[in-house]
């Protein structure tokens, strides 16, 4: 923890209990890249060392402010490979914003890159994004949701608007 940052009081837990870990999402065999999901606790301790080619942050500033200063400063510096699309918890971006984000992620995956997508817990916002990526890669909505949940238990749309976005995203691809 950097000097001046507030601890989270979870030091007694294992890394997996504390941050939910980092999970790989199964992609079609033709996709050479890797898609991983995690929560903010996992990424803030690993973003500099794990060497992801791209980090997609879906949390709002207030979710990082005061606790994750080094990571916030890194995001603010707009490093290559970092994408910050703040989405309010249990909400969604516009369909156009999601489409643009998914196209960027798919492009990186097809180039063989390792992409990390995170929200606060690596479940709702990140899971919704991963489902849209899978749909863009050819999965049905049901298969995409099942894959995300199988690879990261509990991940996927947590609110009706998130599920609606995945369906709307899929409908826009037809």
Domain membership flag for residue 101: yes
Overall domain count for the chain:
1
What pLDDT, on a 0 to 100 scale, did the predictor assign at position 82?
94
Domain membership flag for residue 3: no
Nearest to 133 by CA among 114, 150, 148: 148
What pLDDT, on a 0 to 100 scale, did the predictor assign at position 129?
99
CATH number, position 68: 3.90.190.10
What pLDDT, on a 0 to 100 scale, did the predictor assign at position 20?
73
Domain membership flag for residue 1: no
Domain membership flag for residue 49: yes
Low-confidence ranges of the chain (pLDDT < 50): 1-5
Write out the two tokens for 60.
Answer: 């709002």
Domain membership flag for residue 16: no
What pLDDT, on a 0 to 100 scale, did the predictor assign at position 41?
83
Strand-strand pairing, 82-84 and 54-57: parallel
Domain membership flag for residue 168: yes
pTM score, two decimals? Answer: 0.89
What pLDDT, on a 0 to 100 scale, did the predictor assign at position 174?
83
Domain membership flag for residue 15: no
Domain that holds residue 37: 26-172
User: What does the alpha-carbon distance between residue 157 and residue 155 come to, in Å, rounded to a whole number?
Assistant: 7
Point out which residues pair with 117 in neighbouring strands: 37, 56
Domain membership flag for residue 86: yes
What pLDDT, on a 0 to 100 scale, did the predictor assign at position 5?
47
């Amino acid at each position: 923890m950097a000097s001046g940052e507030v601890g989270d009081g979870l030091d007694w837990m294992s890394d997996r209990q504390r941050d939910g870990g980092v999970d790989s999402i199964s992609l079609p065999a033709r996709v050479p890249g890797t898609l991983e999901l995690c929560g903010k606790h996992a990424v803030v301790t690993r973003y500099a060392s794990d060497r992801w080619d791209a980090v997609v942050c879906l949390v709002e500033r207030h979710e990082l402010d005061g606790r994750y200063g080094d990571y916030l400063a890194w995001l603010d510096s707009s490093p290559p490979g970092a994408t910050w699309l703040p989405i309010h918890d249990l909400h969604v971006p516009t369909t156009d914003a999601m489409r643009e984000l998914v196209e960027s992620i798919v492009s990186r995956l097809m180039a063989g890159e390792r992409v990390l997508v995170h929200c606060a817990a690596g479940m709702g916002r990140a899971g919704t994004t991963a489902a849209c990526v899978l749909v863009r890669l050819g999965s049905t909505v049901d298969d995409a949701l099942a894959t995300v949940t199988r690879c990261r238990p509990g991940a996927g749309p947590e609110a009706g608007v998130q599920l609606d976005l995945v369906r709307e995203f899929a409908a826009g691809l037809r």
